[in-house]
Structure 1
Amino acid sequence: MRVVVIGGSGHIGTYLVPRLVRAGHEVVNISRGSRAAYTDAPEWRQVRQVVADRERQDREGVFGDTVAALHPDAVVDLVCFTLESATALVGRLRGETGHLLHCGSIWRYGPSLALPISETTGTAPVGEYGVQKDRIARMLKEETAAGGLVTTSLHPGHIVGPGWHPIGPLGNLDPGVSATLSAGRPLRIPGLGAELMHHVHADDVAQAFERALDRRDAAAGQDFNVVAATALNVRGFAHQAAAWFGKSATLESVSWEEFRRHTPREPAQASWEHLHRSHFCSIEKAATLLGYAPEHQPQAAVLEAVRWLIDHDELKVAGPLIA
Structure 2
Amino acid sequence: MRVVVIGGTGHIGTFLVPRLVRAGHEVVSLSRGRSPRYADDPAWGEVREVVVDRDATERDGTFARTVADVEADAVVDLICFTPESAATLVEGLRGRTGHLLHCGSIWRHGPSLRLPVTEANGAPPVGEYGIAKAAIAAHLASETASGGLVTTTLHPGHIVGPGWHPIGPLGNLDPGVWWRLSAGDPIVLPGLGAEAMHHVHADDVAQAFELALADRDAVAGEDLDVVAPSALTVRGYLEIAASWFGQRAMIEHVSWERFRGETPAEHADASWEHLSRSHVVSIDKARRLIGYAPRYEPDEAVLESLRWLVEHDRLDIARPLLDR
TM category, shorter: over 0.9
Deviation at 1:120, TM superposition (A): 1.1
Deviations 1:18-71 (A, max 9, x none): 000000000000000101210010000100011111011111111100001100
Q: Which residue of 2 aligns with 1:174?
A: 174
Structure 2, gaps ≥5 residues long: none
**2:317 aligned partner, one-letter code:** V
SS at match of 2:171: coil
**1:70 aligned partner, one-letter code:** V
Structure-2 separation of matches of 1:57 and 1:84: 14
SS at match of 1:172: coil
Q: Which residue of 2 aligns with 1:237?
A: 237
List, as ranges, runs of 4+ consecutive aligned residues in structure 1 with deviation greater than 6 Å: none
Q: Which residue of 2 aligns with 1:127?
A: 127
Q: Which residue of 2 aligns with 1:207?
A: 207
SS at match of 2:210: helix
Paired residues for 1:275-286 under 5 Å: 275-286=275-286
Structure-2 separation of matches of 1:59 and 1:321: 47
SS at match of 2:277: coil
Structure-2 separation of matches of 1:9 and 1:158: 18
Structure-1 separation of matches of 2:225 and 2:231: 13
Structure-2 separation of matches of 1:141 and 1:316: 45
Cα RMSD over matched residues? 0.5
Q: Which residue of 1 aligns with 2:218?
A: 218
Paired residues for 1:113-124 under 5 Å: 113-124=113-124
Structure-1 separation of matches of 2:239 and 2:194: 13
SS at match of 1:101: strand
Paired residues for 1:1-323 under 5 Å: 1-322=1-322, 323=324
TM-score w.r.t. the length of structure 1 is 0.99
SS at match of 2:101: strand
**1:146 aligned partner, one-letter code:** S
Structure-2 separation of matches of 1:32 and 1:290: 31
Query: In percent, how many aligned pairs have the same letter?
Result: 67
TM-score w.r.t. the length of structure 2 is 0.99
The alignment covers a number of residue pairs equal to 323
Structure 1, gaps ≥5 residues long: none
SS at match of 2:112: coil
Structure-1 separation of matches of 2:36 and 2:210: 21
